Structure 1
Amino acid sequence: GSEQLLSWPVFAESCGCRCDTKEDFAELRRKLAQDRIETTTYTEIIKASSADFVGVETQKDLFEKIRKYIAMLDPEEFYLCLGYNTNSINTDIMSHLNTEAGNTDLLTYPKDATVPIAYRNGHFETYGRFHVNELLPEKYKEHDGSMLYTIVPVHYQERTYGYCVLGKSRLLIDSSWFHLFIMNINNALENVRKQEVMNAMVERLNRMWVYDTLTGIFNRAGFFKFSSAIVKEAQERGKPLFVLFLDLDGLKKVNDQYGHDEGDAYIKAMANVLNQVRKHGELLMRYGGDEFVILSKGYTDADAKNYISQIQTGIENYNANSNHEYTLEASMGYTIVEPAPDLDIEEIIEAADQEMYKMKKAKKAARRD
């Protein structure tokens, strides 16, 4: 049969080794209490950062807030290293509008990084581009002796932003709260990225609403949105309003003989000429397929004729330097009216259109003769 031996542990205050060092228990208690106070302080700081990072919309504002909390934590060294292609999240932001294509460059570490936040011995600075194989720029590696660094990745799920480097701070390194602080940075960077992508999408939609996609000048919506300010200023200062109506000649012939791509180029060429002539804040609109409208204030009849002459010179310069078999041509008409309180901008445009039609009719009659 089996035998059972009764046993019990014997606890002792020493392993038996002889130690001649006398421990100052009062000093030990003071150190433990100090560590406890510092841990509590760090905990409160990092919890506050979690709430403070919420709602940050720009990278600049986020960096300011990170600096605020790093200064409060006061590690001997701290470096936030972001990938060069994500350091400015809105760089080439339009590529991010296509989620699949826009996120590809954030799934791996880039070859280069920058340091938007470097904290050394109580002072902040930034550093430009360096190769990530170096982990840190050489200037930050200069120390008299050995140096212990902790490197923590900065990412959101699979999306990589970079990493942070922490030096000589055992309490922060050992604290799970510091890793929570890095997680706060991760989440904040992702929120900023989403916000800037959304802002870019809104800006793109706004541009599509007010700008003509072919020529880049105002469409009808954009023109009527901003024309009210010119009309109001003309009414307040008693200045006459000038409206010029321009209609391209020969667009149908260009489309029929050379194709619609050349027709589009024909329209864009006219828009470019009109843009180059604009000098005093004239409002330019693509009114229809081959029609353009220009609105301004304070023009006299002589000013209007001079403006038309400048447009005609621009057209001639374009034709002289163009390799096309066709020539850019247009008919123009204008009207100048006093800005009455009940002024209807559509009626003024219609009046300028009628003047343009007279010019076009006269040109056709001259060609027949």
Structure 2
Amino acid sequence: MKIALFVGQIYIYTQREIIRGIYEECKKNGDELHLFSFYVSNDEKFDLGEYEYINRMDISGFDGFILYASAFYNPYIRGLLVNKIKASDKPVVSIDSHDANFYNVTSCNSGAMEGLVEHIISEHNVKTVNFVGGPADSTDALDRLNACRRVMEAHGLTLPDERIFTGNYYVDSGYKAYDHFKANGMMDADAFVCVNDQTAMGVFYKATEDGYTIPDDFIITGFDHIPQASFNEPSITSIERFESRIGQAAYEGLWSNEKKEVTIAPKLAKGSSCCKGFDIDNTKRASYLRECIKLSLENSRYAGFISDSAADFMAYRSSDEMYEMLPSYQKKFNIPEMAIVLDKEESKKVLDVPYHYSIDGDEKKSKLIRRDEIFSSKGEGNMYVYSSLHYGGKYFGYVITTNYFAATETELYHMFINNISNMYESAAKYDNQEEYINKLRDLSYYDPLTKIYNRLGFFNKAEDDFEKAKNAGENMYIIFADLDRLKVINDTMGHKMGDSYIVDFVNILTSCIDGYDTPLRFGGDEFVVFGVSTTEEEVRAKINHIQEEIRKFNEQGKYSPYILGVSMGYTMISSDTKKTLFSYIETADQKMYKVKREKKDERSGKDRRSGRDRRTGNRRGLNDPINLS
């Protein structure tokens, strides 16, 4: 069974524990867990990228869904995801966000907050509270705030708006909340009631820096009972939610045919931040500190990789270079398997990269994967973590890792993903810049009508080829061609037909020369071909080939009563020449005019003798032999 789990802000301890509970059940039963992580923020452009991630997501390959919707703070993103899952007609379990269409698992957070606030009011005579809240769009954070207000009102107390701080679920929000209340002269509160333990720890550290003693000066409470708070000195009074059991219940709910609500009741976890006399288990604390030290050292190592990757990725200028670098970082981060899946349309627009690109951990090996292979079973009990790639609102695709649990444990991984996103944006900008430069170069190097070189483009290439051929001891040649009667075509049939006349000749010309030859539109009706040739016979054969193809073309009668015609002259170039390339063009030009005069004289003589219309008479060089030398 393939289970999709949708979670926001996976680096919060409680959500990691829920993920762990679900994964343990999947592993035990041989199911695949596909974890989609989201990082919805207060940045509208960033949130737009996450919106596109969900909007383009293909969830048809999954057998069931677990949704932790309360962690999606943006209501539009939350609504899009919920509607997408509802439309799947597959089993769905919702955690901490009731939906009558789903099987619901809840920890009754509002009831737990009510019990905590009741405790500090009844047992510790709290009258004034500073409330440190979570995101304004988080239904869970709002439930905890309203629970606090209800209990205070039941005791005849109030929680005015000015004593409510709205932030996020992280430590920095606790710092900011403390500074806010301090700046507004509200440090007279009996208690700081915090939406979770991380914000409570932020308040605690700022307060102790200012010389406050907890709980003598004021009480601090949290929510979630995370190790950092429970092993703190003093330990933070909190709510223990049994997240792992919530995860297990969510997994079990997928197998139920009922749409019901299961509650995993939390409990008050008293600590010395409000209740004195609670001793910390020093053995457990020592074990926890060892793990913290190990994680800190590992994070320091990873932080160096993050810094290096930011510099390395921004330096690369092609998709090939980027993909050569990615496996080395995959190895540094100890990622067992990693795949990058690019959005089909976006990859076509901005990057010369494959639709699906996978890196398998070996620096010398990489492989492409198809969409159906992403959902193919690679072994029972795997966990796949999906992270979106976008720069602001510009969506590129997503990254998948296999059995890489650090993706849920450290925010450094998210920073690494951001570096990959920035890499794509940088590459896209560079590719767009290169495309613009190439277009400018094409405009300056190529004739817009015929698409062959103009003078600037020709000499930029041919001068280099000229020197290379001389150094290699190879002989060269120049053909100079001048269209016959282009002015007559323009005057009698219009310039549009005149342009067509030119293009038809160039198409014939380029079809008769080698790919190594360099054609040039020298002027309005004048053309040059430069190439390498060992014998004069080869050059004469090319000219005869061109004239033969023109003869065949004229059988169509496209320009009747006129026919396509051209006069050509050529000159050979010895590899030991001391002359310039341009001087040989002038020589070939002179020989072309010699041919043109001969054709004119011959045609005039025939016209005088026969009275033939000169405009439609056969031109010398189409069927009759001419003197080319």
TM-score by length of 2: 0.47
Is residue 362 of structure 2 the alignment partner of residue 126 of structure 1? Answer: no
User: 1:79·1:118 contact (CA, 8 Å) conserved in 2?
Assistant: yes
CA contact (8 A) 1:248 1:290 kept: yes
**In structure 2, distance between residues paired with 1:354 and 1:223:** 20
Q: Measured at CA, do residues 275 and 114 of structure 1 come closer, stay the same or move farther in structure 2, by a change above 3 Å?
A: closer
Q: Residues 295 and 150 of structure 1: is their aligned pair in 2 closer, same or farther, counting only changes over 3 Å?
A: closer
Question: What is the alpha-carbon root mean square deviation over aligned residues?
Answer: 3.8
Structural mapping, 1:308-319, within 5 Å: 308-319=543-554
The Cα of 1:278 is off from its aligned counterpart by: 1.4
Q: Label 1:277 to 1:30 Cα distance change in 2 as closer, same or farther (>3 A).
A: same
Q: Which residue of 2 aligns with 1:327?
A: 563
Matches of residues 106-255 of structure 1 in structure 2 within 5 Å? 114-119=355-360, 125-130=366-371, 137-139=374-376, 142-145=378-381, 149-232=384-467, 242-255=477-490
The Cα shift of 1:70 comes to 1.9
Aligned partners of 1:193 and 1:367: how far apart in 2? Answer: 60
Q: Check if 1:79 corresponds to 2:339.
A: yes
Contact 2:406 2:413 in 1 (8 A): no
- CA deviation profile, 1:312-333 (whole Å, cap 9, x unmatched): 1121122235655342111122
Quick one: structure 1 residues 181 and 210, their matched pair in 2 at CA, closer, same or farther if it must change by over 3 Å?
same
Shift in Å at residue 46 of structure 1? 1.9
- Map Cα deviations across residues 57-104 of structure 1 (whole Å, 9 max, x no partner): 1122222322222222124554322112334665689xxxxxxxxxxx
User: What runs of 5+ residues in structure 2 fail to find an aligned partner?
Assistant: 1-122, 126-215, 217-273, 607-629
What is the SS of the residue equivalent to 2:524?
coil
Structure 1: how far apart are the matches of 2:316 and 2:549?
48
The alpha carbon displacement at 1:173 in A equals 1.7
Question: Counterparts of 1:319 and 1:91 in 2: how far apart (Å)?
Answer: 45
Q: Which amino acid aligns with 2:418?
A: M
- Which of 41, 51, 63 pairs up with 2:323? 63
Structure with the greater relative contact order (CA < 8 A, sep ≥ 6): 1 or 2? Answer: 1
8 Å Cα contact 1:77/1:167 also seen in 2 = yes
Please give the secondary structure, in 1, of the residue aligned with 2:345. Answer: coil
8 A Cα contact 2:337 2:361, kept in partner:
yes
Q: Which amino acid aligns with 2:603?
A: R
| Alpha-carbon distance change, 65 to 296 in structure 1, aligned in 2, over 3 angstroms | closer
- Structure ID, larger Rg: 2
Deviations 1:199-257 (A, max 9, x none): 22222322333322222222212222333345445655776653322111122222233
Q: Does 1:353 align with 2:589?
A: yes
**Equivalent of 2:296, from 24, 29, 36?**
36
Separation in 1, partners of 2:124, 2:296 = 42
1:12-69 per-position Cα deviation (integer Å, ceiling 9, x unaligned): 4379xxxxx9976665554343333333332332232222223111122222322222
C-alpha deviation, 1:157, in angstroms: 1.3
Cα distance in 2 for residues equivalent to 1:181 and 1:355:
67
**How far does residue 279 in structure 1 lie from its aligned partner after superposition?**
3.2
Instruction: Give 1:292 deviation, angstroms.
Output: 0.9
Q: In structure 2, do the counterparts of structure 1 residues 352 and 64 end up closer, same or farther at CA, with 3 Å as the change threshold?
A: closer
Contact 2:358 2:369 in 1 (8 A): no
1:363 corresponding residue in structure 2: 599
**Cα distance, 1:291 vs. partner?**
0.7
Q: For structure 1, which segment, 226-235 or 117-126, has the greater mean C-alpha deviation from structure 2 after superposition?
A: 117-126
**Paired residue type of 2:586:** E
Question: SS of 1:362's equivalent?
Answer: helix
What code does the residue aligned with 1:318 have?
A: F
- Take 2:524 and 2:415, find their aligned partners in 1: how far apart are those partners? 58
Structure 1, unaligned stretches of length 5 or more? 16-20, 94-112
- The answer (yes or no) to whether the contact 1:77–1:121 under 8 Å persists in 2 is no
What letter matches 1:84 in structure 2? Answer: K
Task: Give the stretch that moved more between structures: 181-190 or 43-52.
Answer: 43-52
